Amino acid sequence: MTDRLTAAMISHAAERLRPVVRRTALEPNERLSGLLGGQVLLKREDAQLCRSYKVRGAFNLIASLAEGERRRGVVCASAGNHGQGVAFACARLGIDGRVYVPSTTPRQKRQRIAALGGDRVEIVVGGGTYDEASTAAHADSEDTGAVYVHPFDDVRTMAGQGTVGLEILEQSGERPHTVVVPVGGGGLISGVAVWLREHSPGTRIVGAEPAGAASMRAALDHGGPFALPELDTFVDGAAVGRVGEHTFPLVKDLVDEIVAVDEGAVCTEMLDLYQSDGIIAEPAGALAGAAARELLPRAASGPVVCVVSGGNNDVSRYNEVLERSLVHIGLRHYFLVTFPQRPGALRHFLDEVLGEGEDIIAFEYVKKNNRDTGPALVGIELERAGDIDSLMARMKAGPLTVERIPPGSPLFTFLL
């Protein structure tokens, strides 16, 4: 097996996968087209088998195993979607497997892995992050001889995921000006980039990764894969602390730009996909659309394609999604307010500080044992983002001591 992915490998993967996976739609999106002033198309991998593109890479790798390797079984690490692809492939091909997941993997994804794999697949919780689960899965592979099915850093996986790019070109009426691809470990964008550079070299390729897990940007800055010291796992499908040894050089050589997308922007796009377009996207699935609307130049001279990479979202997370979105677009703000020690201070705040359309959505004394002197955490929701300036002016004009909690503050980890 070569260490460098080629377009021929992607073509072979497409032949292997054609009877198995869905050829997902490439469809115009009026909302994003209006925002960008030009045609935007969505590649709907949220409608794929297992509701994610990951099944392409997992099935391609496992189906290519020799008979002796199949008898030893397979093992993988996954934040959820890759595990579902492995589970599907194991059940379809009659191979035993173990899927190691981090404890942050949503319950919905764990249940889907179990349902897809049946009695062929065992789920093992291996640490709090994907990288910890990966370490545990590698140890299992070394101890048992099971074949490790890498979610991104194996050319067989990358070839399967690259069939997304093959389909985009087959389905496009004209060559895309830009293709925006979500980035975690780099498997999908590597495969897409290899195919596009071979068959549509003029297409601009943009990778979108979460700001709290910008491992590809770190690798590019350091000249090679680099382990992030901290990781925000909210965008769980793309929260990888270190990109792949095989994926990195392809991204470095073939991809035009890597952009970091704020998690709040991801949440806003998730909500718009659901409310305006009727599309249920997981956080990683909204990365490309969020990058397009916030970071790309408007009115490209040709179609812009955004890959909606997955739709495995746990509905219990929508409260957090809404919260992050409202903070990001400037409609929700938090303050530490110290009220003066006199009667009617809270009433003054309600009557004189809050304006029309401004509502308190959170109020809690920080020092519960002394409500006379302790500051209160106050959350306020605005009707318009621009109203924050007048609210701050009224706060400063009154007898209150007010400290605004900025969105990047560590205190927000206690609010979200």
- As a whole number of angstroms, the distance between CA 271 and CA 275 comes to 6
SS3 assignment, position 404: strand
Which of 43, 54, 78, 134 is labelled catalytic?
A: 54
DSSP string, 340-364: -SSTTHHHHIIIII--TT-EEEEEE
Residue type, 130: Y
In contact, 312 and 87? CB cutoff 8 Å: no
Closest listed residue to residue 7, CA positions, set 191, 184, 272, 186: 191
DSSP label of 247: H
How far is CA 373 from each of CA 370, 380, 401, rounded to the nearest angstrom?
A: 6, 21, 11
Percent helix, strand, coil in the chain, to 5, is 50, 20, 35
Q: In what order do the strands lie in the sheet with 147-148?
A: 121-125, 97-101, 74-77, 147-148
Active site residue 172: no
Which of 141, 172, 190, 309 is labelled catalytic?
A: 309
Active site residue 390: no
251 phi/psi in degrees, rounded to 5: -65, -45
Residue 288, Cα to own-chain centre: how many angstroms?
A: 9
Nearest 10 degrees: Cα torsion 191, 196, 199, 200: 180
Closest listed residue to residue 407, CA positions, set 324, 319, 295, 284: 324
Residue type, 368: K
- As a whole number of angstroms, the distance between CA 366 and CA 378 comes to 10
Where in the sequence numbering do the catalytic residues fall? 54, 309
